[in-house]
């Protein structure tokens, strides 16, 4: 039961991370400035991807 909850949480964090990453990249695409948004977007996508991989195991 504990393992199932952990996987579910990792999956939710993964989807949230990917959504946030896509949002940051979209904001970066429409705005002409800060590079930190691009870095944040890539970081969120990476975090989300890692969590989805953890959830899939």
User: Per-residue pLDDT tens for 7-51?
Assistant: 888 888 888 888 888 888 888 788 777 777 788 888 888 888 888
pLDDT, residue 43, reads: 84
**Run of H or E residues at 34:** none
Structure tokens at 4: 């199932």
What is the rounded distance in angstroms from the CA atom of residue 54 to the CA atom of residue 10? 7
- Whether the pTM exceeds 0.85: the reply is no
| CB 45 within 8 Å of CB 17 | yes
The residues near 50 (Cβ < 8 Å, ≥ 6 apart) are 14
């Amino acid at each position: 039961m504990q393992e199932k909850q952990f996987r579910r949480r990792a999956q939710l964090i993964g989807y949230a991370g990917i959504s946030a990453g896509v949002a940051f990249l979209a904001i970066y695409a429409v705005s002409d400035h800060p590079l930190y948004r691009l870095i944040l977007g890539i970081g969120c996508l990476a975090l989300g991807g890692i969590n989805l991989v953890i959830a899939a195991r």
